[in-house]
Protein backbone atom coordinates (compact mmCIF):
# COMPACT_ATOMS: atom_id res chain seq x y z
CA UNK A 1 0.00 0.00 0.00
CA UNK A 2 1.39 3.39 -0.98
CA UNK A 3 2.08 5.85 1.83
CA UNK A 4 -0.26 8.50 0.37
CA UNK A 5 -3.07 5.94 0.40
CA UNK A 6 -2.30 5.09 4.03
CA UNK A 7 -2.26 8.78 5.00
CA UNK A 8 -5.57 9.38 3.22
CA UNK A 9 -7.02 6.34 4.99
CA UNK A 10 -5.87 7.75 8.31
CA UNK A 11 -7.48 11.09 7.44
CA UNK A 12 -10.69 9.16 6.73
CA UNK A 13 -10.34 7.45 10.13
CA UNK A 14 -9.87 4.03 8.50
CA UNK A 15 -8.67 1.62 11.23
CA UNK A 16 -6.68 -0.60 8.84
CA UNK A 17 -4.74 2.41 7.54
CA UNK A 18 -4.08 3.58 11.10
CA UNK A 19 -2.87 0.11 12.04
CA UNK A 20 -0.59 0.01 9.00
CA UNK A 21 0.93 3.42 9.83
CA UNK A 22 1.35 2.40 13.47
CA UNK A 23 3.10 -0.86 12.57
CA UNK A 24 5.31 0.90 10.02
CA UNK A 25 6.71 3.47 12.49
CA UNK A 26 6.24 1.90 15.94
CA UNK A 27 9.74 0.38 16.21
CA UNK A 28 11.48 3.63 15.19
CA UNK A 29 9.47 5.67 17.71
CA UNK A 30 10.12 3.09 20.45
CA UNK A 31 13.86 3.30 19.88
CA UNK A 32 13.69 7.08 20.18
CA UNK A 33 11.66 6.91 23.41
CA UNK A 34 13.82 4.19 24.95
CA UNK A 35 16.83 6.53 24.70
CA UNK A 36 15.16 8.73 27.34
CA UNK A 37 12.68 6.43 29.08
CA UNK A 38 14.22 3.14 30.18
CA UNK A 39 10.93 1.64 31.40
CA UNK A 40 9.55 -0.26 28.40
CA UNK A 41 5.91 -0.11 29.55
CA UNK A 42 6.12 3.65 30.04
CA UNK A 43 7.82 4.06 26.64
CA UNK A 44 5.06 2.01 24.96
CA UNK A 45 2.45 4.21 26.64
CA UNK A 46 4.23 7.35 25.39
CA UNK A 47 4.45 5.98 21.83
CA UNK A 48 0.78 5.02 21.91
CA UNK A 49 -0.19 8.49 23.17
CA UNK A 50 2.00 9.95 20.44
CA UNK A 51 0.24 7.94 17.75
CA UNK A 52 -3.12 9.06 19.10
CA UNK A 53 -1.93 12.63 18.55
CA UNK A 54 -0.64 11.68 15.10
CA UNK A 55 -4.06 10.31 14.13
CA UNK A 56 -5.80 13.43 15.47
CA UNK A 57 -3.42 15.74 13.56
CA UNK A 58 -2.91 13.71 10.37
CA UNK A 59 -5.07 16.20 8.49
CA UNK A 60 -2.37 18.82 9.15
CA UNK A 61 0.36 16.80 7.41
CA UNK A 62 1.14 18.63 4.16
CA UNK A 63 3.65 16.21 2.55
CA UNK A 64 6.51 18.63 3.29
CA UNK A 65 9.50 16.76 4.67
CA UNK A 66 9.36 13.13 5.62
CA UNK A 67 6.35 11.58 7.27
CA UNK A 68 8.68 9.86 9.73
CA UNK A 69 10.14 13.21 10.78
CA UNK A 70 6.65 14.64 11.25
CA UNK A 71 5.59 11.65 13.36
CA UNK A 72 8.87 11.76 15.30
CA UNK A 73 8.29 15.42 16.20
CA UNK A 74 4.79 14.66 17.54
CA UNK A 75 5.94 11.61 19.52
CA UNK A 76 8.92 13.58 20.88
CA UNK A 77 6.58 16.31 22.14
CA UNK A 78 4.39 13.65 23.72
CA UNK A 79 7.46 12.17 25.41
CA UNK A 80 8.54 15.62 26.57
CA UNK A 81 5.08 16.20 28.09
CA UNK A 82 5.29 12.84 29.84
CA UNK A 83 8.73 13.59 31.23
CA UNK A 84 7.53 17.00 32.46
CA UNK A 85 4.75 15.29 34.40
CA UNK A 86 7.06 12.62 35.82
CA UNK A 87 10.03 14.84 36.65
CA UNK A 88 8.74 18.22 37.73
CA UNK A 89 11.98 19.07 39.46
CA UNK A 90 14.45 17.87 36.83
CA UNK A 91 15.41 21.40 35.79
CA UNK A 92 16.30 22.29 39.36
CA UNK A 93 18.63 19.29 39.59
CA UNK A 94 20.89 21.00 37.08
CA UNK A 95 21.08 24.31 38.95
CA UNK A 96 21.01 23.31 42.61
CA UNK A 97 24.21 25.25 43.41
CA UNK A 98 23.29 28.44 41.54
CA UNK A 99 21.76 31.57 42.98
CA UNK A 100 18.11 32.35 42.21
CA UNK A 101 18.43 35.16 39.59
CA UNK A 102 20.70 33.13 37.31
CA UNK A 103 18.57 30.05 37.89
CA UNK A 104 15.31 31.77 37.01
CA UNK A 105 16.55 33.54 33.89
CA UNK A 106 18.24 30.46 32.46
CA UNK A 107 15.37 28.14 33.34
CA UNK A 108 12.75 30.41 31.84
CA UNK A 109 14.55 30.26 28.50
CA UNK A 110 15.06 26.50 28.56
CA UNK A 111 12.38 24.09 27.42
CA UNK A 112 12.41 20.42 28.36
CA UNK A 113 13.02 19.41 24.73
CA UNK A 114 16.10 21.64 24.66
CA UNK A 115 17.33 20.15 27.92
CA UNK A 116 16.95 16.63 26.51
CA UNK A 117 18.97 17.66 23.46
CA UNK A 118 21.69 19.03 25.74
CA UNK A 119 21.71 15.79 27.73
CA UNK A 120 22.47 14.00 24.44
CA UNK A 121 25.74 16.00 24.28
CA UNK A 122 26.98 14.46 27.53
CA UNK A 123 29.22 11.39 27.44
CA UNK A 124 26.98 8.33 27.02
CA UNK A 125 27.63 6.78 30.45
CA UNK A 126 27.07 10.08 32.27
CA UNK A 127 23.93 10.89 30.26
CA UNK A 128 22.48 7.46 30.98
CA UNK A 129 23.09 7.73 34.72
CA UNK A 130 21.86 11.34 34.82
CA UNK A 131 18.62 10.32 33.07
CA UNK A 132 18.16 7.42 35.48
CA UNK A 133 18.67 9.71 38.48
CA UNK A 134 17.10 13.03 37.44
CA UNK A 135 14.32 11.89 35.11
CA UNK A 136 13.47 8.32 36.03
CA UNK A 137 13.94 8.80 39.77
CA UNK A 138 16.33 5.94 40.55
CA UNK A 139 18.42 6.31 43.70
CA UNK A 140 22.20 6.17 43.52
CA UNK A 141 22.06 2.77 45.22
CA UNK A 142 19.64 1.42 42.60
CA UNK A 143 21.75 2.83 39.77
CA UNK A 144 24.87 1.27 41.28
CA UNK A 145 23.18 -2.13 41.37
CA UNK A 146 21.76 -1.87 37.84
CA UNK A 147 24.99 -0.56 36.29
CA UNK A 148 27.31 -2.66 38.46
CA UNK A 149 29.20 0.43 39.65
CA UNK A 150 29.78 1.99 43.06
CA UNK A 151 27.36 4.49 44.61
CA UNK A 152 30.21 7.02 44.51
CA UNK A 153 30.63 6.53 40.76
CA UNK A 154 26.91 7.11 40.25
CA UNK A 155 27.10 10.31 42.31
CA UNK A 156 30.15 11.45 40.34
CA UNK A 157 28.37 10.94 36.99
CA UNK A 158 25.34 12.97 38.18
CA UNK A 159 27.53 15.73 39.60
CA UNK A 160 29.69 15.87 36.47
CA UNK A 161 26.57 15.90 34.28
CA UNK A 162 25.15 18.82 36.26
CA UNK A 163 28.36 20.83 35.80
CA UNK A 164 28.49 20.12 32.09
CA UNK A 165 24.78 20.87 31.63
CA UNK A 166 25.14 24.17 33.48
CA UNK A 167 27.89 25.17 31.07
CA UNK A 168 25.93 24.02 28.02
CA UNK A 169 22.77 25.81 29.18
CA UNK A 170 24.55 29.06 29.94
CA UNK A 171 26.48 28.80 26.67
CA UNK A 172 23.24 28.20 24.75
CA UNK A 173 21.49 31.12 26.46
CA UNK A 174 24.44 33.46 25.86
CA UNK A 175 24.52 32.42 22.19
CA UNK A 176 20.76 33.02 21.88
CA UNK A 177 21.03 36.41 23.58
CA UNK A 178 23.93 37.48 21.34
CA UNK A 179 22.28 36.12 18.18
CA UNK A 180 18.91 37.70 18.91
Nearest to residue 130, comparing CAs of 173, 97, 82, 90?
Answer: 90
pLDDT cut 90: percent of the chain above it = 37
Q: Topology of domain 3-86, per CATH?
A: Rna Polymerase Sigma Factor; Chain: A (1.10.1740)
Find out whether 64 and 24 touch, Cβ atoms under 8 Å: no
Write the DSSP assignment of 86-98 as a string of letters. Answer: H-TTHHHHHTTTS
Give the separation between CA 158 and CA 72, rounded to whole angstroms.
Answer: 28
| Mean pLDDT within 1-24 | 92
Taking only Cα atoms into account, the Rg of the chain, rounded to an integer number of angstroms, comes to 19
Confidence of residue 159 (pLDDT cuts 50, 70, 90): very high
Write the DSSP assignment of 100-132 as a string of letters. Answer: HHHHHHHHHH--HHHHHHHHTTS-HHHHHHHII
pTM for this predicted structure:
0.53
Give the separation between CA 172 and CA 68, rounded to whole angstroms.
Answer: 28
The 3-state DSSP composition of the chain as helix, strand, coil percent (nearest 5) reads: 80, 0, 20
Convert the pLDDT of each residue in 19-58 to its tens digit: 999 999 999 999 888 877 878 898 999 999 999 999 999 9
Convert the pLDDT of each residue in 46-92 to its tens digit: 999 999 999 999 999 888 878 988 998 899 888 888 877 765 545 44
Q: Give the residue extent of every domain in the chain.
A: 3-86, 90-179
CATH: 2.60.40, 1.10.10, 3.30.559, 1.10.8. Which one for 90-179?
1.10.10
Give the separation between CA 42 and CA 82, rounded to whole angstroms.
Answer: 9
Amino acid sequence: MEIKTIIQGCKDNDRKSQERLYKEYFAVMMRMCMRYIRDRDRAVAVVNDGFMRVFKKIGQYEYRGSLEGWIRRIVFHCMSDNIKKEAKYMKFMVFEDYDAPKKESALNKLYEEDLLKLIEKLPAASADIFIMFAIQGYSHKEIAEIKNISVGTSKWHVSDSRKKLRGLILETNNYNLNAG
